[in-house]
Amino acid sequence: MQKSIERISGDSEGVFYEFPAFRFTGADKAAPSGYLQSALHAGELPGVVAIDALTPALNKAEAEGRIKGNITVVPWANPIGRAQYHFGEHQGRFHLGTRTNFNRAFPLLAAPDTALLPDTTFGTADQQLKTRLLQLSIGHDIVLDLHCDDEGLAYLYVHTSLWPAMADCAAAMAIDAVVLWSEDSDGTFEGATIMPYQNVPAGVAKFERRVVTTVEYRGMLDVDGRLAASDAEGLYWLLVARGVIADPALPAPGPFTGFVAPLENIDMMPAPRAGAVLYDVKPGDRVAKGARLATIVHTPGEVGGRTEVFAPQDGVILTRRARRIIRAGEDLLKLVGDKKSADARSGTLED
């Protein structure tokens, strides 16, 4: 394993950021390569500890000569967000200097060619970071961006063009749900990773084996040794199943047993009032149309001080908020409906 230190210049003199990248060199040039990154949203840590738990298996495979394809691992993908504290609270989702989401505004290239990227020293610190992360990841056949939700199931965002070809990956990772998306005008990392391939002619074998996904490893508080160990096993199994690592002891993954839904089926459920949230449901619950999902206590102690929110259709609760204070219009939860949502915002990748 080789470790390199990537350096990003800050937005003022004397400030810079560093993050490590680890590389394993594959023995077989024709084997698929893998790129794993976590904590792009810098406070989302289940992927960080999963990668930490995975590393001994990668080192063992390397020592035994079983690494076939090149592997690049970036466990702390966002040193800028990692250092952002505002009045004692960590802020890892948006760059405080520009108010831009760290998982938006990635350069969208016309082809998978790092020569098309802007200069990595160009722009604000967050723009430099995005360019550098794409530069590190482009060219890999398998690109996994590890995130988490507030509270949630383990689920994947997958572009429609890669499904069901990636069902074995979802099975290997023991994922609960897969959300299929088709449009990304916002430049998420996943979108910027997959869009350059949209102009590649069909039938090119190298591109047909691609795996690209945003992995939502449950919730912010699911940073847990046992989950990290099982997630690491899942990541390892994926790498073996796709030929990046050789491990004859492992069978092929079985069928994917989670559920799959298009993004258009997700109801985001905005809160009608501001207040304290009393949830009736948790991630994984199946609900029927009309079932009460939550009650907002907005004027406590007064008649009519509560407002209830009901399921607009049958479905499964995918996520809910970790905090119980809410403003009017903020999303209470994600309900994966059995049918298309009436919510006009649905359709684009919403990590």
List interacting residues with Zn ion (CB under 5 A): 41, 44, 147, 351
Phi, psi angles (nearest 5°) of residue 325 = -95, 140
C-alpha 283/C-alpha 263 separation (Å) is 17
C-alpha 49/C-alpha 41 separation (Å) is 14
Check: CB of residue 156 under 8 Å from CB of residue 130: no
Q: Which is nearer to Zn ion, 94 or 207 (CB)?
A: 94
Give the shortest CB-81-to-Zn ion separation in angstroms: 10
Give the shortest CB-213-to-Zn ion separation in angstroms: 13
Give the shortest CB-220-to-Zn ion separation in angstroms: 10
Give the shortest CB-149-to-Zn ion separation in angstroms: 8
Q: Which is nearer to Zn ion, 78 or 313 (CB)?
A: 78
Give the shortest CB-25-to-Zn ion separation in angstroms: 30
Q: Which is nearer to Zn ion, 26 or 283 (CB)?
A: 283
Q: Which is nearer to Zn ion, 216 or 267 (CB)?
A: 216
Q: Which is nearer to Zn ion, 247 or 350 (CB)?
A: 350
Q: Which is nearer to Zn ion, 24 or 76 (CB)?
A: 76
Give the shortest CB-147-to-Zn ion separation in angstroms: 3
Give the shortest CB-329-to-Zn ion separation in angstroms: 21
C-alpha 60/C-alpha 27 separation (Å) is 15
Check: CB of residue 132 under 8 Å from CB of residue 197: no
Q: Which is nearer to Zn ion, 40 or 311 (CB)?
A: 40
Q: Which is nearer to Zn ion, 32 or 46 (CB)?
A: 46
Give the shortest CB-193-to-Zn ion separation in angstroms: 15
Give the shortest CB-40-to-Zn ion separation in angstroms: 7
Q: Which is nearer to Zn ion, 89 or 119 (CB)?
A: 89
Q: Which is nearer to Zn ion, 191 or 253 (CB)?
A: 191
Give the shortest CB-75-to-Zn ion separation in angstroms: 15
Sign of the alpha-carbon torsion through 8, 14, 20, 23: positive
Q: Using alpha carbons only, give the angle 61, 62, 66 rounded to the nearest 5 degrees.
A: 55
